[in-house]
Chain A
Amino acid sequence: MESLGIQIDRETIERVARLSRIRLTSEQEEQLLRDFQEILTAFSSIDEAEADCEPAFHPIEIRNILREDEPHATIPPDEILERMKTLQRFIRGPRMQ
């Protein structure tokens, strides 16, 4: 399926799901392929927009405003840690290798 000049196929869906850390069943892949085709075809109109300009990362102008670099109270770390699985005040997670 051609959408915005880009081929969308099942392999693309599988790759995107893998990158997103989401596992899909075969039926879900089929359904999402159909959804992507419909959505990206609908969105293809954006190709017609003449918009060779500076991108707007924010809708308003954002300027840096600096404060004095002074220590101030924040949430006590223990209050945050007590909401997580920890071991000796380290957050527990799965093994890397």
Chain B
Amino acid sequence: MTGSDVLDYITAVRAGEINQTDYLERLMKKLHDENYRLGMFSKMHEKPKGKSDGPLAGLPFSVKDNICVKGFPIRAGSRILIGYTPPFDSTVVEQMIRAGAAFIGSTNMDEFGFGTFCTNCGFGVPKNPFDESRSCGGSSGGAAAATAIMKHHVALAESTGGSISCPATFCGVVGLTPTYGRVSRYGLIDYANSLDKIGLMARSIDDIALVLPIISGPDARDSTSMTQEPLSLENGKIKNIAVPVELMSAISDYRIPSIFRKALDELKESGIEIAEVEMPMMKFSIPAYYILACAEASTNLAKYCGMRYGKEGTHMERRYNSFFTEVRTEAFGEEAKRRILLGTFARMAGYRDKYYMKALMVRRKIIDEFERVFRDYDLIASPTMPLVSPEFEKIQEMSPASVYALDFLTVPPNLAGLPHLSMPMGYVDGLPTGIHFIAPHWEERRLISIGRNWEQQMEYRFPMSLEGTP
């Protein structure tokens, strides 16, 4: 059984049993050494400060490097944003600070979220705390590693196509991606607006249940958050779970389905009915997702041109196209350039209907297919990733298309904007694997319910439990 150390910590801070200022000072000292080894943080706060009261009193929290914090350098893992210091807090940061939490730093990520392994990073590649020769998963890799090693901490992360679930799995922590629109994106540096979602990583489902209500709710500064249904985390019984055969049949590492079947058996023993279902549209999710994500990214990243934000161009005497081209060529990384070009191609006159519009229609069909399954089942489940975290050497040998293809389990709920939860499922040669639960829009409470059920049965392993005790 896995429980919440965070709740105990907050209770102790509020009762005056832990002085959170001293705790944070000691924690940061220890964290500096670990960060030198693992490279989780893009930048650490020099003197974090929380409150001694509030629902998150003194709780250390990190943000992915694409969530704005006033006066703190935020760069979305990109060298094109070197020098950018936001003049405002994102809504989620405001909410966390108001609740008493202490901001401790920004975590490393793939440039603008472009990656499955957190290796396309402008400011250091984080190493997996379970095995430093392996990836943390992407794109919120630093957030997952930080969560895996700290006893009292939650990470604000972000997912476009699986950037919370994948690293949560590889680093053996819990990752929740809420319904699209549940958490305000105000202050999030965009990758793809119709897909981006801010979510959470923590070491227990109770930590997620504690923080989710604090960062949820309508925000007039993000119109997509305004039409959401109220969040209720009232515990409800999960009656049945569907397992899509198309997703299972595409997993090549036999060890993953084997552990997954054992997990299903345990869920059955707790009285949940499990059934296989067919979801034939799932096989189109990778092309539809990458076409849409790259198309949106290519327009979002057009604003980075050497003036206004981040890296400044130096040759003002040049004509504007030459000036912009110089800066973009120098500062964008290889994967960012590839995705900008793919997205520009998909939107070009002559190709738009064939790629972009077709992908949007496929997305509609995928949403319809999920809705059909949810008419009969409470949740959908699969493994989170089709492999355990690979070694960096192996990743270098993979082609871009083969890396994109590995996202086939995490992309479908992201494309459909459905809330989903990845939890540690078991261990292969000491490395974590993940189980993925997907719920209907706005039904995060079902994820919290299944998460609590799962943690009754599962004892998580963490590589270390850093804390700010003397």
Which residues of A are at the interface with B, using a C-beta cutoff of 8 A? 4-6, 12-13, 16-17, 19-24, 28, 32, 35-36, 38-39, 41-65, 67, 75, 79-80, 83-85, 91-97
Residue from B328, B342, B404 whose CB has the most chain A CB atoms within 10 Å:
B342
Q: Which residue of A lies closest to B84 (CB)?
A: A83
Tell me whether A84 and B345 are in contact in the complex, defined as CB-CB below 8 angstroms, given that A46-B362, A51-B365 are known contacts: no
Q: Interface with A: B204-212, B258-266, B348-356, B424-432, which one? A: B348-356
Question: Would you call A61 and B227 a contact (CB within 8 A)?
Answer: yes
B140 to chain A: which residues have CB within 8 Å?
none
Contact A94 B316 (CB under 8 A): yes
Please give, as numbers and ranges, the residues of chain A lying within 8 Å of B367 by CB-CB distance. Answer: 56, 59
Chain A to chain B contacts (Cβ below 8 Å), 13 pairs: A4-B354, A4-B355, A19-B348, A22-B325, A22-B332, A24-B337, A56-B364, A60-B179, A60-B441, A62-B223, A67-B220, A94-B324, A95-B317
Interface residue? B323 (CB, 8 A): yes
Across-interface contacts of B227 in A (CB, < 8 A):
60-63, 65
B351 near A6 with CB under 8 A, answer yes
Tell me, in angstroms, the Cα distance from A44 to B287 when the chains sit together: 8
Q: Which of A17, A47, A55 contacts B361 (CB 8 A)?
A: A55
Chain B residues close to A by CB (< 8 Å):
84-85, 87-88, 179-181, 194-195, 220, 223-224, 226-227, 281, 283-284, 286-288, 290-291, 298, 302, 305, 307-309, 312-313, 315-326, 328-329, 332, 337-338, 340-342, 344-345, 348, 351, 354-355, 357-365, 367, 399-401, 404-405, 415-418, 441
What CA separation (Å) do A65 and B181 show in the bound complex? 14
Partner of A95 from B281, B290, B320 at Cβ < 8 Å? B320
Write the chain A residue with the least CB distance to B345.
Answer: A16
Instruction: Name the prevailing secondary structure of the A interface residues.
Output: loop
Assembly CA distance A22 to B194 (angstroms): 25
Report the separation of the CA atoms of residues A50 and B44 in the bound assembly, to the nearest whole angstrom.
49
A75 touches B88 (CB 8 A): yes
Bound-complex Cα distance A50 to B223 (A)? 32
Beyond A16-B345, A46-B291, A59-B416, whether A80 also contacts B318 by CB under 8 A is no
A49 & B362 in contact (Cβ 8 Å cutoff): yes
B185 smallest CB distance to A (angstroms): 12
How far in angstroms is the closest Cβ of chain A from B184? 14
**Cβ-defined contact, A46 with B287, below 8 A:** yes
CA distance A85 to B415 in the complex (A): 39
Could you say which residues of chain A place their CB within 8 Å of the CB of B309? 83
Distance in angstroms from B403 CB to nearest chain A CB is 10
B266 to chain A, nearest CB (A): 31
The 8 A-B pairs of least Cβ separation, nearest first, read: A59-B417, A55-B360, A94-B323, A43-B287, A51-B361, A56-B364, A46-B287, A56-B363
A63: B residues at CB distance < 8 A: 226-227
Q: Whole-angstrom distance between the alpha carbons of A43 and B305 in the complex?
A: 30
Give A32 Cβ to nearest chain B Cβ, in Å.
Answer: 6
Instruction: Assess whether A20 is in contact with B358, with CB atoms less than 8 Å apart.
Output: no
B338 touches A32 (CB 8 A): yes
Beta-carbon contact of A39 and B415 below 8 Å: no
Chain B residue at minimum C-beta to C-beta distance from A84: B308
Q: How far is the CA of A65 from the CA of B316 in the complex (A)?
A: 43
Taking A23-B326, A94-B323 as known contacts, 16 extra A-B pairs with beta carbons closer than 8 A to each other, sorted by chain A number, are: A4-B354, A21-B321, A22-B328, A22-B337, A35-B338, A42-B287, A44-B287, A49-B358, A49-B365, A51-B362, A55-B364, A58-B194, A59-B416, A85-B312, A93-B316, A93-B323
A residues in contact with B87, CB < 8 Å:
75, 79-80, 83
Kindly list chain A residues whose C-beta atoms are within 8 Å of the C-beta of B88: 75
A3 CB → nearest B CB, Å: 10
Contacting residue for A39 out of B84, B321, B401, CB 8 A:
B401
